[in-house]
Amino acid sequence: MSKKDWKRRTTLVHGGIRRSQYNEVSEAIFLTQGFVYESAEQAAARFEKAGEDEFIYARYGNPTVRMFEERIAALEGAEDAFATASGMAAVNAALTSMLRAGDHVVSARALFGSCLYILEEVLTRYGVEVTFVDGTDLDQWRAAVRPGTKAVFLESMSNPTLEVIDLEAVARIAHDAGALVIVDNVFSTPVFSRAIALGADVVVYSATKHIDGQGRVLGGVVLGTKDYIRKTLEPYLKHTGAAMSPFTAWLLLKGLETMDLRVHAQADAALKVAQALEGDARLARVIYPGLESHPQHALAMRQLEKAGTVISLDLKGGQEAAFRFLNALEIVVISNNLGDAKSIVTHPATTTHQRLSDDQRDALGITRGLVRLSVGLEDADDLIDDLKAALDAV
């Protein structure tokens, strides 16, 4: 049976393994910044062209990091991957490595705060023109993309309002204009989405989220064609230095082994929690793409195997009610990670999206009462009890 035919869970356990001369079972951590050459000639040859199993310097690549890259690439159905020190390093490199002054980018407006910063503040500083659109409105994409548009950027499911973008349709519009489709796919998760099959050229993950899934490390990864990864991204990353540490790569390899099981359990619990809270008189809205009331429910279910692990709740009493709700929770912790084994709640308007103006937040639907809940691995009934008791305390 060829590795290519392995199903997801098999790939997540065995994909990308490289064993040393000791034939260890668990992946080895190569905590080394460099590699000894047997001769000056070998060093010269390796700098000229390094083979598959030949490494030079940990900023360029490392065997443990390579195992992580190969495993996630096999999962995603991507030709190649490059790991980075954080999710933001991955987003930044995916864009910056391919753009130059005078280029045009179209981006969905509903973005993670730091992604918005890169598109709004960093790229424009270097002469890249960025047009923002409502990602769910295909007419806006059509109107904004033009010949000469180099890339479109989007979060396939937005943070924190969980809008789902029709990736296949946006990719068709972008490709007609010759633009590359770069997708930040964190909220869709590597388990539930088939971004590359739907038309994404470049997929980016913050591995800090579901890939680690246990709140231990920061990491990121960019996936794409061999040509893009090796000719565009790698030269930029290996000289600018946002390399993933081998220890992080090892933790993430262990994270990948259990990711499918974890993310399925979290999504099942998220649906149960969303259903239990929908209709509660104290909530203006329960936002979860797995609920039929979600405006893009049908699209979400077509595009994703399950609707993800994050729910947003809009409390009727605004910020005061939201804060009282957060403070009354006993199991769910207040923090800003997501995809973690521990259920986590955050108030976007005063934390992750604090930097935005009131107008920008209004445009994105980030109300003062909005709370983002990342559902973890606890028993769903315990979570429902905790959330309902906290609503009672409001």
Ligand X SMILES: *Cc1c(COP(=O)(O)O)cnc(C)c1O
Kindly tell me which of 87 and 391 has the beta carbon lying closer to ligand X: 87
Kindly tell me which of 87 and 190 has the beta carbon lying closer to ligand X: 87
How is residue 57 written in tokens?
């310097």
Shortest distance in whole angstroms from residue 293 CB to ligand X: 23
Shortest distance in whole angstroms from residue 221 CB to ligand X: 10
Shortest distance in whole angstroms from residue 159 CB to ligand X: 5
Full strand arrangement of the beta sheet holding 202-206:
80-84, 220-224, 202-206, 180-184, 149-155, 104-108, 129-133
Report the residue closest to ligand X, judged by CB.
87
Kindly tell me which of 15 and 219 has the beta carbon lying closer to ligand X: 219
Provide the residue count of the chain: 394
Token look-up 């935005």 returns 356
Shortest distance in whole angstroms from residue 216 CB to ligand X: 12
| Beta partners for residue 374, in sequence order | 310, 344
Shortest distance in whole angstroms from residue 175 CB to ligand X: 23
Kindly tell me which of 167 and 394 has the beta carbon lying closer to ligand X: 167
Kindly tell me which of 115 and 377 has the beta carbon lying closer to ligand X: 115
How is residue 147 written in tokens?
């010949």
Please state at what angle helix 380-393 crosses helix 318-328, rounded to 10 degrees.
130
Minimal CA–CA distance to 224: which of 151, 276, 285, 128?
151
How far apart CA 204 and CA 186 sit, in angstroms, is 8
How far apart CA 250 and CA 244 sit, in angstroms, is 10
Kindly tell me which of 67 and 115 has the beta carbon lying closer to ligand X: 115
Shortest distance in whole angstroms from residue 49 CB to ligand X: 32
**Is the dihedral angle over the CA atoms 245, 247, 251, 256 positive or is it negative?**
positive
Kindly tell me which of 207 and 283 has the beta carbon lying closer to ligand X: 207
Shortest distance in whole angstroms from residue 187 CB to ligand X: 6
Shortest distance in whole angstroms from residue 339 CB to ligand X: 8
Residues making contact with ligand X (CB under 6 A): 86-88, 91, 112, 114-115, 155, 159, 184, 186, 206, 208-209, 218, 220
Kindly tell me which of 222 and 265 has the beta carbon lying closer to ligand X: 222
Kindly tell me which of 112 and 323 has the beta carbon lying closer to ligand X: 112
Sequence-separated (6 or more) residues with CB below 8 Å from residue 299? 164, 166
Kindly tell me which of 155 and 166 has the beta carbon lying closer to ligand X: 155
How is residue 331 written in tokens?
């199991």
Shortest distance in whole angstroms from residue 354 CB to ligand X: 15
Shortest distance in whole angstroms from residue 209 CB to ligand X: 6
